[in-house]
A and B are shown apart, each in its own frame.
Chain A
Amino acid sequence: MSSSTTRVDRLVLFNIEDGDRRKFIAKSNDTASGGGARDLRFRPETEFLPLFRRMFPTKTTKMRSKGGVSSQIEVLSGTVNWYSVSGTESANMEVWPSTDSRPNESRLAKIYKYGLHGLIQNDPNGGRSIFLLLQQANGDLWLYFTTETSLLTQNWDPKIKKFAQDWFDDGCKSAFLDLVTKEQYPHV
């Protein structure tokens, strides 16, 4: 594979907290009802949704009903790859827009479906456990699990390290870096 295709164009980092861990096995924080409790939520949507539109190439229109009222929503989807103990795996993942009850949150939906729970890494120094989603220049999406200690101390590309450090300094839940448009969240 040439370096021009494996060049990283976009990167999303997400801090996996205890409540998020349960989403990977379809257990709500409070109930077993599922729903939003099974999605990874990215906020603010005003920042993340434009990025996800660049990362997930397929757009479909679906109906969402609440309180007997149906409405059309745009769902983004794309094939995401990852490594597990059995080798390379992939699945079609979807990004759903915010709901009335959770405004301004885009969702990486139904994360429990992919058997990722066992891949979550615990930080050896008590730091953040991190979900990492990257997009290569050829459009391929890959997800990884890493830790705060790894991003700060291991041999990551200097741009990625700097981006991670800025994110840790800010303290927000999730972050992205678009190396094509030069956009970054949180803003620095």
Chain B
Amino acid sequence: MSDANDILDLLENRRNVLLAGPPGTGKSMLLSEVASLFEAKGHSSTPTHQPGAPVPIPPTPTTTLPGAIGTSAHRKVFRCVLHQSSKYRDFLTGVMPDVRVGTPPGTFRITEGILYRASEYAKQPDSAALLIIDEINRGPTVQVFGGAIVAIESDKRLAPDGKRTAATQFFDLINPVDGDLIEYAFPSRLYILAAMNQADVSVEPLDVAFLRRWAPFNLEPKSSVLRAHFGVSATPMGSLPPSPSSADDVSEAAIQALDAINQRIALGRGPEFRIGHGVLMTNNAKPSNLADALAHFATAWRTVKNHIDEAFFGDVRGSAIVLNADRGLAGNPYSLEETSFGDAPRAMINGPVSIDASQVYDLFVALSQKAV
């Protein structure tokens, strides 16, 4: 079963799923895949004629979708990205100046945030809503959810028929209809899928109490995805040819290099700082000949190098170890130099600012060497 189907199953069981993984592991693609399946926009959707109905081709419940998602005749996806300026009123409701054309100055209105809209959609009969929140740890997450933080839990929702249960958690909300403060709870068929990258320097760790309310789904860098994409089979470690004779040789060297780099990053900085396979699959390109492959991977290397520089910012020795620059390997354009600043010992990495196509294969062979 695909990751997207696994996530849909998890959503049906837990209602809230948190997708996490290093950059380039396919989170955004997976979000789109889940969204497409949820709305049945993919091949799973089979338009069916209901003769004489006011809308003669209504949505068809997709039986391949799990549980209440599959049995809902109406499904809609809501998407947003959390950022540092995100506010509670953007997610639920709140008061903000009304600057719309024709509105007198000094007027205020009550917002209907995206979580509120998704919730209201899911409260309609036979309806289900999926809210996708990308970059959930890039903003003031706990503040944005406010009092809803407990109410999103699957067992704190309203019953499937919309009635309250003994466990339903209500929270106060400004009602956009009349401005009154009301008690509000989330419907059973509201599904929330969030994604985050734990390793970005501009994010903060999420509150543990908040995390507890999500079912985790973790993505990892996968060499197998790259081998399938480039159509190469695994070559035993250390048996790469001294010079490439085909695009496949370069692809395999790049895959082994990325794998070795990720092992060293995981040791030095933590597994969440690894870099995903997507970095070598830019624009879904698949080189057709040796020259194309060298050019393609020379470009991709720039992104890998930037990631290493960012992850090990201020740690020259750490960068050097990841780049195998401390081992004096033939063909490696990077080398670690021990020097001094006054009396203080210093280390620096020598090497080109960018790697050209003629250097990239030797670099990958050198990077693929693992310490024994």
With contacts A157-B57, A157-B59 taken as known, whether A142 is within 8 angstroms of B49 at the C-beta atoms is: yes
Which chain A residue lies CB-closest to B45?
Answer: A159
Which chain A residue lies CB-closest to B58?
Answer: A155
Closest chain-B Cβ to A145's Cβ sits at a distance in Å of 11
List chain B residues, Cβ under 8 A from A11. Answer: 47, 57
Q: Is the CB of A162 within 8 A of B52?
A: no
With contacts A3-B60, A162-B41 taken as known, whether A155 is within 8 angstroms of B47 at the C-beta atoms is: no
Closest chain-B Cβ to A105's Cβ sits at a distance in Å of 27
Contact with A along B26-56 (1 / 0, CB 8 A): 0000000000000111000111111110111
B74 contacts partner chain A, Cβ-Cβ < 8 Å? yes
Which chain B residue lies CB-closest to A140?
Answer: B49
A150 to B53: give the CA distance in the assembly, Å.
13
A155 to B74: give the CA distance in the assembly, Å.
8
* Interface hub of A11, A154, A156 (most chain B Cβ within 10 A): A156
Q: Which among A8, A81, A83, A88 is the interface contact of B47 at CB below 8 angstroms? A: A8
Q: Which among A1, A3, A134, A162 is the interface contact of B57 at CB below 8 angstroms? A: A134
Q: Is the CB of B55 within 8 A of A134?
A: no
A158 contacts partner chain B, Cβ-Cβ < 8 Å? yes
Contact with A along B55-73 (1 / 0, CB 8 A): 1111110000000000001
Which chain B residue lies CB-closest to A151?
Answer: B55
Which chain A residue lies CB-closest to B127?
Answer: A155
List chain B residues, Cβ under 8 A from A136. Answer: 49
List chain A residues, Cβ under 8 A from B73. Answer: 155
Q: Is the CB of A6 within 8 A of B48?
A: yes
Q: Is the CB of A157 within 8 A of B51?
A: no
List chain B residues, Cβ under 8 A from A142. Answer: 49, 51, 56
Q: Is the CB of A157 within 8 A of B52?
A: no
A155 to B57: give the CA distance in the assembly, Å.
8
A53 contacts partner chain B, Cβ-Cβ < 8 Å? no
List chain A residues, Cβ under 8 A from B45. Answer: 157-159
A6 to B57: give the CA distance in the assembly, Å.
10
Q: Which among A155, A158, A179 is the interface contact of B39 at CB below 8 angstroms? A: A158
- The 14 sampled A-B contact pairs (Cβ below 8 Å) are A6-B51, A7-B46, A7-B47, A7-B49, A134-B57, A142-B49, A144-B56, A150-B55, A155-B55, A157-B47, A157-B48, A157-B57, A157-B59, A179-B47
A154-B55, A155-B55, A157-B48 known; 20 other A-B pairs, CB under 8 Å?
A3-B46, A3-B48, A6-B48, A6-B51, A7-B46, A7-B47, A7-B48, A8-B48, A83-B51, A83-B52, A88-B52, A134-B56, A136-B49, A156-B57, A156-B59, A158-B41, A158-B59, A159-B41, A159-B45, A162-B41
List chain A residues, Cβ under 8 A from B54. Answer: 154
Question: How many residues of chain B get a CB closer than 8 Å to chain A's CBs?
Answer: 20
Which residues does B use to contact A, with CB under 8 Å? 39-41, 45-52, 54-60, 73-74
A119 contacts partner chain B, Cβ-Cβ < 8 Å? no
A6 to B73: give the CA distance in the assembly, Å.
17
A-B complex: 5 closest residue pairs judged by Cβ atoms = A157-B47, A8-B47, A6-B49, A157-B57, A160-B57
Q: Is the CB of B59 within 8 A of A155?
A: yes
A131 to B34: give the CA distance in the assembly, Å.
34
List chain A residues, Cβ under 8 A from B39. Answer: 158
Q: Which among B40, B46, B52, B55 is the interface contact of A156 at CB below 8 angstroms? A: B55
Closest chain-A Cβ to B78's Cβ sits at a distance in Å of 15
CB under 8 Å from chain B, chain A span 6-59: 6-8, 11
Closest chain-B Cβ to A18's Cβ sits at a distance in Å of 25
Contact with B along A137-174 (1 / 0, CB 8 A): 00000101000001000111111101000000000000
List chain A residues, Cβ under 8 A from B74. Answer: 155
Closest chain-A Cβ to B63's Cβ sits at a distance in Å of 10
Closest chain-A Cβ to B43's Cβ sits at a distance in Å of 10
Closest chain-B Cβ to A163's Cβ sits at a distance in Å of 9
List chain B residues, Cβ under 8 A from A160. Answer: 47, 57
List chain B residues, Cβ under 8 A from A150. Answer: 55
Q: Is the CB of B57 within 8 A of A8?
A: yes
Closest chain-B Cβ to A150's Cβ sits at a distance in Å of 7
Contact with B along A62-91 (1 / 0, CB 8 A): 000000000000000000010100001000
Closest chain-A Cβ to B62's Cβ sits at a distance in Å of 10
A160 to B46: give the CA distance in the assembly, Å.
10
List chain A residues, Cβ under 8 A from B50. Answer: 6
Q: Is the CB of B55 within 8 A of A159?
A: no
Which chain A residue lies CB-closest to B46?
Answer: A7
Closest chain-A Cβ to B157's Cβ sits at a distance in Å of 24
A3 to B45: give the CA distance in the assembly, Å.
13
List chain B residues, Cβ under 8 A from A144. Answer: 56
Closest chain-B Cβ to A127's Cβ sits at a distance in Å of 16
List chain A residues, Cβ under 8 A from B59. Answer: 155-158
Which chain A residue lies CB-closest to B54?
Answer: A154
Q: Is the CB of A156 within 8 A of B60?
A: no
Closest chain-A Cβ to B243's Cβ sits at a distance in Å of 45
Q: Is the CB of B58 within 8 A of A8?
A: no
Closest chain-A Cβ to B262's Cβ sits at a distance in Å of 39
A3 to B60: give the CA distance in the assembly, Å.
10
List chain B residues, Cβ under 8 A from A154. Answer: 54-55
Closest chain-A Cβ to B168's Cβ sits at a distance in Å of 28
